[in-house]
Structure 1
Amino acid sequence: MTRLPVLALILAGSALALPAAAQDTAVEGEKINQVIVYGNDKCEQSSPDEIVVCNRLPETERYRVPQMFRGGSVLDPRNQAWANKVVALERVGRFGTDSCSPTGLGGFTGCTQALVAGAKAERQAADKTDWQTMIADERAKRIAGIDAASDNVEAAVVAEEKALQERQRRAAELEARGGAPADTAGDPDATPLPVPPPR
C-alpha cells in the first residue's frame, strides 16, 4: 500500500524534470521544432526565428504506435509479432542441413545465416534518432547563412563608402577649378533646383 504513493512521487518528479532537460539544449530566444515525417513527405524549411529538424521514418511506421510507447526492447519476446513467434516455433523441431542445430546430418550448417539475421535485428533495434546532433547541424547551417549574409552586407557597405569618397573627391576637384557647386558636381544624376520666375 505504501509503494503506490512513493511510486507516484517518483513519476511526478521525473515528469517535472523533463522540460528542464529539454531546455538546456536551446539557445535563449531560439525556437526549435522537432518534426517526424514519414516516407516521402516534405520537411518544412527553417525560418529566421525557428529551427526545424526532421526525422524521416519509413512509410510503414506512419500509423504505428510511437517507439517510445511500445515498451521494452524490440528483441524482447513479449514485443515480437505473432508471425515471428510462429517462425520461432517452426524452428523448434527443425534439424539437419541449414538448421544450425547439434542434431541431424549437416546440423552445423546455417549458423552463419542465423548470426547475420540476429545482427541485422539488433542493428535495427538500436537505430535511434539523435536529435541533439540534428539540431546542432541545423544551427551550424543557419550560422553559416547568417555569416554569408553579413559578409555580403559588409562588402556592399565598403563599396558604397568607396563610391561616396570618390564622388566627394571629384566634387572637391571641380569646386577647386571653379566648376559646379560641390553638392551636384560629383553626382551626374543630380538635377539643379528650378529657379522661380520673377514677379
Structure 2
Amino acid sequence: MTRLPLAMLILAGAAIAQPAAAQDTGPVGPANEKINQVIVYGNDKCPEANGDEILVCAVLPEGDRYRVPQIFRGGDPLDPRNEAWVNRVVSLQRVGRFGTDSCSPVGLGGFTGCTQQLLAGAKAERQAADKTDWQAMIADERAKRLAGIDAAADTVEAAVVAEEKALADRQKQAEETAPATDAPATDNPDAEPLPVPPPR
C-alpha cells in the first residue's frame, strides 16, 4: 500500500518538472514571433523591419487615408436602416400634416402654405449649396495674371532703359576718344588735294 502513494508522488514531481524544462529551451514556433502589420496609403514608404520582426504592409489608395475603415462603414447606403435620424424625424413630422398651411389636397384650406413650403425649400437649397464664390475666384486669378503681366512689363522696360543708357555711354566715350580735327583723315599727308569742279 505504501508503494502506490509513493509512485504517485514521484509521477507528480516529474509532471511538474517537465513544463519548467520546456520553458528553459527558449521560444520555438510561430506563436512567439513578433509580427507588425502596417497600413500605408498612396506613395508612402513601408517602414523597415527591426531585427527578427516580421513586417507586413498593406497599401491602400490615397483616397482612403482619412476615411472610416471598411469594416465600420456599414452596408448598403440606400438601405432604410442606414438612413440618418434627421431624415427619419422630418418624415415623421409630416405625418398627419393636413389642413390650413399644409399645401396638401386634404382638408379645408390645404392649398394654402405652398408658397411657404417653396420658400423654405429654396432657403434649404441655398444653405446646402456649395459656398464657392466663382466670381471672386475669377477676379483673384485675373488680378494675379495682370500683376504678372505688369511685373513682366516693368522688367522689360527696365532692361530697355538700361540698354539705352549703356548705348548713350558708349557713344559719349566714342566721341571723347575721337580726334578733335574736322579735316578728313588721309593715309598720305603729302597727297595733292582733290580738284574742285568748275561752277556751272
- Provide the TM-score with structure 1 as the length reference: 0.39
Name the structure, 1 or 2, with higher relative contact order (CA <8 Å, separation 6+). 1
- Provide the TM-score with structure 2 as the length reference: 0.39
